[in-house]
Structure 1
Amino acid sequence: MKIKNSLKSLKTRDRNNRIVRRKGRVYVINKQNPRYKARQG
């Protein structure tokens, strides 16, 4: 999992990417291709 300041660039890398808020943190998740995982902070 990558930890980035800005997730907007990671969201555009794959069309299945979703931005999700969990427990006050922002995540990029991808069910079809799980290597696109990232957290903000």
Structure 2
Amino acid sequence: MKVVNSLKSMKKRDKNCRVVRRKGRVYVINKTNPRFKARQG
């Protein structure tokens, strides 16, 4: 999991990436390819 300031660039890495809010944090998750995970902040 990468920690980044801007999730927009992480969302562009793969077409299946989704932006999800969990427990006050913003995550990028990808079910088909779990390598592309990121968290903001």
TM over 0.5: yes
Who is 1:16 aligned against? 16
Who is 2:26 aligned against? 26
**Two-structure CA RMSD over aligned residues (Å):** 0.3
Q: Secondary structure at the match of 2:31?
A: coil
- Listed one character per residue, the Cα deviations across residues 1-41 of structure 1 (whole Å, up to 9, x for unaligned) are 00000000010110000000000000000000000000001
What is the TM-score of this pair, normalised by structure 1? Answer: 0.97
Structure-1 separation of matches of 2:12 and 2:6: 12
Number of residue pairs matched?
A: 41
**Percent identity for Structure 1 against Structure 2:** 78
Asked whether 1:3 is paired with 2:3, we answer yes
What is the TM-score of this pair, normalised by structure 2? Answer: 0.97
